Chain A
Amino acid sequence: MARIIVITSGKGGVGKTTTAAALAMGLAQRGKRTVVIDFDVGLRNLDLIMGCERRVVYDFVNVINQEANLNQALIRDKRCDHLYVLPASQTRDKDALTKEGVGRILEELSQIYDFIVCDSPAGIEHGATMAMYFADDAVVVTNPEVSSVRDSDRMLGILSSKSRRAETNDEPIREFLLLTRYDPARVESGEMLSVEDVQEILSLNLLGIIPESKAVLTASNSGSPVILDRESDAGQAYGDMVARYLGEEVPHRFLHTEKKGFLSRLFRG
Chain B
Amino acid sequence: MQALVIVAHGSHLNPDSSAPTYDHADTVREVGAFDEVRTGFWKEEPSIREVLRTVEADEVYVVPLFISEGYFTEQVIPRELRLEGWDVADWDSDGLSASHVTLSATDVPEKTIHYCGPVGTHAAMTDVLVRRAETVTGDPNVGEGFGLAVVGHGTERNENSAKAIEYHADRIREMDRFDEVQALYMDEEPEVDDVTDYFESEDVVVVPLFIADGFHTQEDIPEDMGLTDDYRTGYDVPTEVDGHRIWYAGAVGTEGLMADVVLERAADAGADIGNTLEVVRERTRKTPQEAN
Q: Do A and B bind each other?
A: no
Residues of A within 8 A of B (CB): none
